[in-house]
Each structure stands twice: as structure tokens, then as C-alpha cells.
Chains A and B, each alone.
Chain A
Amino acid sequence: MKRLFSSTLILAILVATTACGSGGANTDQSVSSIVSASTSVANPSSADSQGAVKELTMLGVAEGMEWATFISQAAAPFEQKNNVKIIFTATTSADFLQQFMAMTNSGAPLDVMRINGQDARFLTQSKFLMNLKDYTSIDTDIFLGSALAPYTFDDGIYAIPFDDATGSGLYYNNAIFEANGLTPPKTYDELLAVSKTLKSKGIIPIAFGGQSKYMWPMWFFQTLGQQCAGKTFDFTMQTLRGEVKWTDAKYVEAMRGLEALAKADLFQPGVNGTDTTGGESIFISEKAAMFYGGTWNTTNFVASGLDGKLGITLYPLIKEGNAYYQTGALGGTAIAGYSKAAEENKKMIAEFAAFLSNSDNTRAKMLFQANGDEASISGLSIRKDVKFPETPIMTKIKTDILPVTETFLDWYWPPEITVAFQDEIQAVIGLKRTPEQAMDNIQKVFDGLVTGGYTFK
């Protein structure tokens, strides 16, 4: 009797453990992931008459938990028309590749993705993305400038941009400048002069979150791009093919341009000990007069009370003879199809990618990000058929910043080079390494990659 009871108890525990361990196939609640949404079919009678409802699984970079709701709403008309259910799993930008890896290695279903622009090259070259042009027609003329370029390889289109146009810029506090009789600097010498006045008034010239080292390469893109005068992309391609060394004079000079900022003491004390949020806070609290960032900072600055005081200008020319250059992404995130999805689903996947990035949904996305307030929209759509009333900042971005914007260079660099740049720039800013030493270290990293079989395609 005792043994029967013991055995029954053990069985009960096993059954209970198994039941607790199994969850819905569509939930994904790791520390870094956000709740997934399972959208429902809005037309049950259609499902009944046409048989089983098809499911498409989407893994997407999301800006917050509300994204699951947004995608659910945006996808609803497509679901109704095509008798399909979109199962959406959201993840943060930094964790996208990890989540993608986990899904593909575990054999979990995957059809559609919202990918980061910087991952497009790797995913395409590793043959994880399908050529959308093979399955649907894409109006390429509807996009601004080179918005499609990061997703176009060998005439194929592997993702459709679904993000605002972004660019970098030097934000400044207009009120501080006017109160001190200053104008936004256009050159490095003007920057030094402006900073001298600001420091005499106890104001930090430039705030930045140097501890968040992933942002440092953006500064480098600026100083390098100014020297290359519109040929930064070509120069980068030559370097990645091994035709130009990372120790080339242009690279060293670009690094020296950053060292000069640190030597002139333009940042807040302890810039490498302050993270991005800390850097933004210093600017928002008006302890600093300038902040170097991207158009993605605008909404936060405006919402935090700098509205009316916020200005944006081009990164100052480091040397005479340099050309104005800004770094950014006309594309941002994009909608792509997984190449290993079922062949019979690929046409629907391509059509969904085109649908989700259409003008109505792009417009809805921009409104969603501005909490429904058109006046708060700070981004510029990369679609020519989506326009909003422009704020002065948006006009400045459109007329001055975007025309001289080239895609972030780390979208082409191997990830090891990007990480090396992050560390080396931090060291140069901290005056712990010379520009020559920094570029020499980066060259060594690249040499290691080449020895390990790296070739740039």
C-alpha cells in the first residue's frame, strides 16, 4: 500500500512538472524579449468555409511592449483579406540576432522579420533572407534617395524599409547660445571659441554618454566622412577588401579629430563614465550647451522641455578643405522574409512585407511613435508619399542633414571591427591611446579576421 502510494505520488509530480513546463508555442518571455502577440482572425466565417487558417510567424525588432499591439492592428486587414494569422514575437534591437539564432537553431517556425539595417548584409550573405522581388513587385521610386540601398544586393531586394529616415547632428540649446551671444559653430576653430565662452560661464560645451561605447563609432564616421568628401562608402569598401589599411592616413587623421575634442576638454568630466541616458540628462538639464546624437533623440529632447530651445546643426568641419558629412540611415529597420520559410508561403510573406511597409502603415507607425500627436512627430518618412506638417527641426534635418547623410559605416564592417572601434575610440577620448596606436590595434584585429578566413563580399 505504502509503495503504491509512493509510486502514485511520484507519477503525479512528474505529470505536474511536465504540465507546468509546457507553455504556449507563441509566448517568449526572456529577460530581453517583449511579450508576443497572437493576432486573431477577424473573419471566422472565411476560415470555416476555406478550411484551416494559415499562420505566419514574425520576429521583429520592437521599440516597446506596445509594438505588439501596433503590429496586431496594422496586420489585421491583411489577415482578413488573405485568411492568415500573424503571430508576432518582439525583441529588442540588441537581442535580435540572439533571438533569430535561437529560433532557427531550434527549428521554430519563422516567416517574416523586422530586421535592423546593420544586420541586413550579414543575413543576406548568409542566405537567410529571401529576394522579395522574386515574389512581389516593389515600387522602388517611392523611397527617398538611397533608402533601399542597404537592402539591395546584386539587384535583389531583400528587405523593405519600415522606419523613419535618421541622421546624426549636433544639437544645441538655442537659449544658451543666444544668452551668450553665440552662433552654432561651423568649423572646429569656431567650436573651440564657442566652448571657451561656455566654459567661462560654467557650461559644459558638449554632453555625451561615452560609457555607452556603441555610440562612439558615429563620431568617427563624421571625421572620416569629412575627409572622404562623398566617397566614404568607396573608401570603406576598399579597406574591407584589403586594398587600404586601417592605418591609412585618413583613418589616423579621423581618429586625431576625436582626440582633439578630448584634448580641448570639450566633454563633461568623466564622459567615459556616463552612459547615454546620463549624457542626455546633462543636455536636457541645460548643464551642457550641445549634444551630438541622432534624429532619434529629437522626440526625447522635445518631450523633456527643450522644445523651443532646440537647434540642430551639421558636425563642424575639422579642417579647412573638408566636406560636410553626416552619418545616418535612410532605411533604419526593414521588413524581410526568411529564406527557409515554406515555399508555398513565400508569395504571401513578400506581399505582407510590402503591405506592412505601405504608405498607410508607415503613416500609422509614425503617428503611433508620436503617441498620435502629429505635432510631436520628429522623424521624416523615407516614403515620398507620406508627409506630415514639418517642425523647424524637421525642416533643418531635411534640408541640411539628410542631403549629406551616408549610411552608418558599421553596417558594412565586420562586428569584430565595430567592437574594436568602440574600445579604441573610448581609449583615445580617454587620452589613453594615440590615434596611431588605436588604428594599429584595429588593423591587428582585421589581420586576425583575414587569417581566420574573412573575405568581404
Chain B
Amino acid sequence: MKLNSRVFKDNRDAYLFVFPALLVFAFFTIYPTVSGFVTSLYKWDGFTEKTFVGLNNYIKLFQDSTFWTAISHNTYYAVFTVIAKVTIGFLTAVLLNGKFRGTQIYRTIFFTPMVMSFVAVGVLWSWIFNPTFGLANTILQHIGWSGAMPIWLGDPKLVLPALMFVDIWRWSGYHTVLYLAGLQSISVDIYEAAAVDGCNGLRKMLYITIPQMKAVIIMNFAICLMGAFNLFDLVYVTTKGGPYGSSEVLLTYMYKLAFAGRQFGYATTIGYVNLLFIIVVTTIQLRAMRKD
């Protein structure tokens, strides 16, 4: 007890500085999370009185085929976007870490898509993918595409790959920046020592860069995975889950249930299940980083 009170006394200023942020976190994160779980135990249309249903919403959710379809879409989306963004981000960062003219300009170019609003990105790519006027099909025509013109956002087989492409385009720059920060923290001495021992570029990459960047790679992996399961904005602005549910993801389904179907209790269940999944992923990531 004496030790604890001394620790608190010695760190009182630190606790005081952290307190406002903790308060904001408690009010804007913890309270809505708990409140969300409570809401998921009710049947509620958002307007009238709530009816307590216990875990019925969760039982209903696991029997809901649309829920499983949405999860499969998120998983499919995650596999490809995670691999692509982690890889492209890393390779781009390695290239941009070099010393040559124009690195700042190239870094800006790669990062720019990330600062565009999601609505602007959605509208822009809706037009690029427009089957009649769009730039994508116009380019295909010019390079002599002989088959039927792809209906990017209107074909159930192409809609998710098209959205993945946009996602990768938009977020690769962000991951590049994270990787760049990691690369620049690696001591140059290690590379010089390796050079003295006769290491070539590839061996430096495999035995120095990648091991040193392991924590950053894991962090980017986790961010990509969380992003794939938190996907909403791009799908909502472009396809709203269509055509006929082929791009429906967890959060668009949740949104549809809540605001079109007025099933707020049931919709909150999806949000909560998604939260639990993300907590699991983050826990695995933190453990992997601690081991490292």
C-alpha cells in the first residue's frame, strides 16, 4: 500500500496529464461500447420502446445467411487487400528510402489518395468504372480489348475486385509512410557492417531489413486486416452492397438493418461481433510484437 501510494505521488503529474484523455476515451469509446452491447440485447426500432430479448439477436445473427455472406465478402476482401497493401507499401517504402532527386515529390504523390475524402474517392471511381463513359473501359478500348467490356461495379464477379483495387490505390501510400518511418529507424551501422562482410542487396533485405521491420510489418498487417473488416465508406458510396448483395459487407449490412430496416438492436449485434473480432486480431498482433 505504501509503495503504491508513493508510486502515485511520484507520478501524480503524469496521471493528471493523462486524465483528460482518459475521460474523453471513457466518454466516447468505453461508454458507447458498453451501451452498444446493452442495445444488442434489445429489439428496438430506434424510436419506440425497447423490448428485452437477451441473446436472441446473437442467435438470430448466427443463423442469418446474409451475415455469413457478408463475412465471406469481408474475408475475401481482406486476403487480397492485406497482401497487396503490405507488400506494395513495403516495396514502395524501400524504393522511396533511397537518396535520389524527387523523393519528397514521389512521397507526396503516393500519399495524396489517402487524404481525399471517401465520398470523393467513391464518386471518382464510380465514374472511372462507368461502363459507358468510364476511363477504365476507354483505356481497354484503346489498347485493343477484344472481349465484352467489363461492367466493373455491375458484375457480381468483378465488383469486389474493383473495390479492392480502389482500396489498394487509396491506402498503399499510408502504409508506405509507416514503413518509411520504420526503415529510417534502422541503424545505418548494421548495413555498413553487412557490407563489410560482403552482403549484397538481396541478403541485406532478407537478413537485416525484414527482421528489423518485423514489428512494423505486423502492425501494418493488423491495420489492413482491421480496415478490411471495418469496410463501409467505399462500398456505401459506390454500390451500397449491390449488385444484388454481391458486395455486401458487414458494416453495410449493419447500416441497412439499422436505417432501412429499423432494427437497431439487431444491427448493433453485428457491430459488436465485428468489435470482438477486431479485439482478437489486435491481441494476437500485440502478443506477436511483444515476443519480438
Chain A positions within 8 Å of B, measured between CB atoms, are: 2-3, 6-7, 10, 13-14, 17, 31, 97-98, 101, 104-105, 126, 128, 210-211, 213, 268-275, 278, 281-282, 287, 415-416, 418-419, 423-424, 426-427, 430, 432-433
Contact = CB atoms under 8 A, between A and B. Distances in A.
Most chain A beta carbons < 10 A, residue from B13, B149, B152: B13
A421 to B, nearest CB: 11
5 contacts: A10-B16, A17-B24, A31-B119, A105-B47, A426-B242
A211 B256 contact: no
Contacts of A104: 47
B10 to A, nearest CB: 12
Interface of B: 12-13, 16-17, 19-20, 24, 46-48, 119, 126-127, 129-133, 148-149, 151-156, 239-240, 242-245, 256, 259-262
A213 B238 CA distance: 11
Given A418-B260, A419-B261, 14 more contacts: A3-B13, A10-B17, A17-B20, A128-B47, A213-B240, A269-B132, A270-B149, A273-B151, A273-B152, A274-B132, A278-B132, A416-B260, A427-B243, A430-B243
Given A10-B20, A278-B132, A211 B261 contact: no
A128 B262 CA distance: 15
B40 to A, nearest CB: 16
Contacts of B47: 101, 104-105, 126, 128
B131 A268 contact: yes
Given A269-B151, A432-B156, A274 B130 contact: yes
Given A97-B259, A101-B46, A273-B131, A430 B244 contact: yes
A98 B132 contact: no
Contacts of B156: 430, 432
Contacts of A6: 13, 16-17
B245 A423 contact: yes
Contacts of B126: 211, 275, 278
A10 B22 CA distance: 13
A276 B126 CA distance: 11
Given A415-B261, A415-B262, A269 B242 contact: no
Ranked nearest first, the 10 interchain pairs of A and B with the lowest CB-CB distance are: A273-B154, A270-B131, A270-B151, A272-B154, A427-B244, A273-B151, A272-B243, A273-B153, A101-B46, A270-B154
Main secondary structure of the interface of B (DSSP, over half): loop
B130 A423 contact: no
Contacts of B239: 211
Contacts of B240: 213
Contact of B132 (A31, A270, A419, A424): A270
A17 B242 CA distance: 42
B149 to A, nearest CB: 6
Contacts of A97: 46, 259, 262
Contacts of A126: 47-48
Nearest to B261: A416
A433 B259 CA distance: 26
A278 B244 contact: no
Nearest to A21: B24
